[in-house]
Amino acid sequence: MPMRSLCSMLVGGALMFSNAAAGAANPWEDIKRPSQQTSASIGQYTNGCLSGAEKMPLRGEGFQLMRTGRDRHYGNPALIGFLKDFSTRVAEQGLGQLQIGDMSMARGGPFSYGHRSHQVGLDADIWYSQDPRALTRPLTAWERNNISAVPLADAKEHQLIKANWDQRAPRILRLASEDPRVERIFVHPTIKRELCTSASSDNEWLRKIRPWWGHNYHFHVRLACPAGDKNCVPQQPVLNAACGEDLDWWFSDEFYAQLRGTAPPQKKPEPKPKPPMPQQCAQVLHAP
């Protein structure tokens, strides 16, 4: 059963920001420099870390970072390379300029708020909306941290917001999906349904585009483990149909009962103990 992802709730505004780190200190959030090690993604997307991270530049051809005050724009060099290539293609095709939200922290690792994944430097959140100011001039620090993303779907009502729909979005998503470095892309289920409805039989590119909770303000691009990153734990490739049954659940009675909180109380399974982080992550955390 899908678990609610917080990643999507972050991007639209600063609303989750005030809930930061209510718990114990998190050493992964305290370290502000990448480790001086060979670059590698270590462990699982939801339980791992990142050595020798590279920092994404503030802006470049076809992109501008957002929410820079959070200091979450580090990645595996493979992610930096992908984002630059992808943004360049978006610009070249006249699809505007990407606004890139959270990636990973300087050494990856778990967050005290906001994401379950994004731990190994291979995940990036990209806004659907493009602020017109960013097309004509660099955004100011205040703007980067305060401009709100515009949602394409209303997650509560579980429907598209037609007035906000951007014709560029399907083409941008397709560019990302057809890049062989990309493993999965998460979008709101109503967005996936719209993409499937509008696509002809030429829909193979939609296979990697996965419906998931949230993701109405941004899409989430996940790269596959780079070749040579031996300690990076890959995910199973997506084997479902490009537009098939797995989308149906998101429009089923069971789903709506969950969404509206009217599902009969279920016996919750015992929570599994949190797996330990990969051993190498202790070295990453303490490396110079």
Considering the complex, state which of residue 179 and residue 199 has its C-beta at the smaller distance from Zn ion. 179
The verdict on 7 binding Zn ion (CB under 5 A) reads yes
Residue with tokens 């980067």: 144
Q: 216 and 153 in contact (C-beta within 8 Å)?
A: yes
The verdict on 105 binding Zn ion (CB under 5 A) reads no
Tell me the C-alpha distance between 23 and 67, whole Å: 22
Neighbours of 78 (CB within 10 A): 22
Considering the complex, state which of residue 125 and residue 183 has its C-beta at the smaller distance from Zn ion. 125
Q: How far is the CB of 217 from Zn ion (least distance, A)?
A: 10
The first and second tokens of residue 69, run together, are 């005050």
3-state secondary structure of 50: strand
Considering the complex, state which of residue 2 and residue 138 has its C-beta at the smaller distance from Zn ion. 2
226, HSE (Cβ side, Cα atoms, 13 Å): 19
Amino acid identity, residue 196?
C
Residue 187: its H or E element: strand 182-187
Considering the complex, state which of residue 10 and residue 175 has its C-beta at the smaller distance from Zn ion. 10
Size of the site for Zn ion (CB under 5 A): 3
Among 70, 72, 193, 220, binds Zn ion (CB under 5 A): 220
The first and second tokens of residue 207, run together, are 């296979």
Considering the complex, state which of residue 147 and residue 185 has its C-beta at the smaller distance from Zn ion. 185
The verdict on 183 binding Zn ion (CB under 5 A) reads no
Q: Which stretch binds Zn ion (CB under 5 A): 3-11, 192-200, 227-235, 271-279?
A: 3-11
What residue ranges in 52-93 does DSSP mark as E strands? 54-55, 59-60, 63-65, 74-75
Q: Which stretch binds Zn ion (CB under 5 A): 7-15, 41-49, 77-85, 268-276?
A: 7-15
Q: Which stretch binds Zn ion (CB under 5 A): 89-97, 159-167, 199-207, 212-220?
A: 212-220
What's the DSSP call for residue 263? S
Q: How far is the CB of 114 from Zn ion (least distance, A)?
A: 9
Tell me the C-alpha distance between 227 and 236, whole Å: 16
Considering the complex, state which of residue 2 and residue 228 has its C-beta at the smaller distance from Zn ion. 2
The verdict on 73 binding Zn ion (CB under 5 A) reads no
The verdict on 125 binding Zn ion (CB under 5 A) reads yes
> Footprint of Zn ion on this chain (CB under 5 A)?
7, 125, 220
